[in-house]
Amino acid sequence: MTEDHSPKKTQLEEFLSSISDNYSRYETDATLDNSQAISNQNELVDKSGWLLKKSNNFLRGYQQRYFVLRDKRLVYFRKESDPQPAGIINFNLITVDVQVYDPERPRKIFIKPLGAKRCFVLKSTDPKEIVDWAMALHKHITYSDGRKLDMTTISMQKEFWRFDRVSEEQFRYQACTGDLILFKGKSVAAKLQRSVLRGRYDHVALLLCYSTGDIAILEATGDDGVAIVQWDDFLRYGWHRLYKRIAFRKLTMNRTEETLTKLQGFIDNARGKKYKISYKKVFGIDQRRQPGTEDNYFCSELIASAYKALGILDENIPSSRYWPGDFESKNSIPLMDAELGEEIMVDFEL
């Protein structure tokens, strides 16, 4: 008897095969486009729309969320206009199994990351909509890195879906001068600060990228005042282990020679100045100063002043009015001719 070595179909593949003959029940132009795209290995089907997502809290049941499937990532938002996703499943970083409940009357999709306790359940009252999502998900998963390898490093972490992430190597490649880097500390003081200011982060710094390929951070701390720390030193001394999470936000702007020269002038003036935060400084009547002329800084004040030097932040608001939480993606600072991207976690385990 000859042993069968043919590859086994996943539950989702079997479901898609089962509906191929009688797909006319749900057939529309949109679903036909999806079907054609699945047969074309060079194309991925982008899809977005509202679905019901089952909450971890059984008392809440299902909650409506806006989903976006693009570039082998499934992202969902509480509101379509939210700047920061409520969750992200990156199929290139996580191996997932997708199942459709009751193929005869499809209503639910189960997304189970390998190695995770959490299973994501998505629901729609429209069978055609579930079929469309199943076919689009199948395409993205099929050609993802997670499908090729058993990837559990991320999915075994607590609430892994809360943030998009990149490896430290990818972070180096993506970093540009002016990007923000946000820190969530482990200390009691850091936790207290986040609690009082109602932010997710307690420290913020500015990324500097040199023509040599080296990366550094410009920051203001109580120990060293305003200083430039080489990223290699930051890792060499294990300072990244002092934080529960480190994330960065890409700054999109026209980085001309003129703007970068202004930033360099600001850094030359600010570097070496002392760290200071006080009630008078934060709540004073008027603390507006030309960028770089301030006598001292605390971390978010330094970043706000640097952005003013770049010409992308309103100079009418004193730099001392900004806190680290103001630079989180859930908030919107008034940038001019520039935009900050969503938070991306730097995962040092990848």
CB 154 within 8 A of CB 347: yes
Mean local confidence (pLDDT), 281-307: 84
Nearest-angstrom CA–CA distance, 224 and 302: 14
3-state secondary structure 98-118: EEEECCCCCCEEEEEECCCCC
Mean local confidence (pLDDT), 151-169: 82
- Amino acid residing at 7: P
Q: Which of 33-47, 134-148, 151-165 has the highest mean pLDDT?
A: 134-148
The pLDDT value given to residue 23? 39
The pLDDT value given to residue 35? 46
CA nearest 250: which of 170, 316, 347, 323?
170
The pLDDT value given to residue 12? 56
pLDDT over 90 at 59, yes or no: no
By three-state DSSP, how is residue 304 classified? helix
Nearest-angstrom CA–CA distance, 1 and 343: 56
CB 84 within 8 A of CB 91: no
CA nearest 245: which of 176, 303, 158, 306?
158
Mean local confidence (pLDDT), 197-221: 93
Mean local confidence (pLDDT), 291-308: 92
Alpha-carbon distance values, 309 to 31, 159, 202, 210, 276 (Å): 51, 38, 23, 19, 20
Q: How confident is the model at residue 107 (pLDDT cuts 50, 70, 90)?
A: confident
Enclosing H/E stretch for 50: strand 47-54
What are the tens digits of pLDDT across the range 80-93? 988 788 899 999 88
Mean local confidence (pLDDT), 138-155: 82
| Mean pLDDT of the residues in the chain | 83
Mean local confidence (pLDDT), 337-348: 90
More confident residue, 98 or 3: 98
CB 30 within 8 A of CB 132: yes
pLDDT over 50 at 31, yes or no: no
Nearest-angstrom CA–CA distance, 205 and 178: 9
Range in 14-18, 79-83, 214-218 with the lowest mean pLDDT = 14-18
Please report the domains of the chain, with CATH numbers, ordered by start residue: 11-160 (2.30.29.30), 163-347 (3.90.1720.10)
Alpha-helix runs per DSSP H in the chain? 11-18, 29-39, 127-142, 145-148, 168-174, 188-197, 231-236, 257-270, 279-283, 299-309
What are the tens digits of pLDDT across the range 317-327? 889 889 998 99
The pLDDT value given to residue 156? 77
The pLDDT value given to residue 6? 40
The pLDDT value given to residue 182? 96
Mean local confidence (pLDDT), 240-261: 93
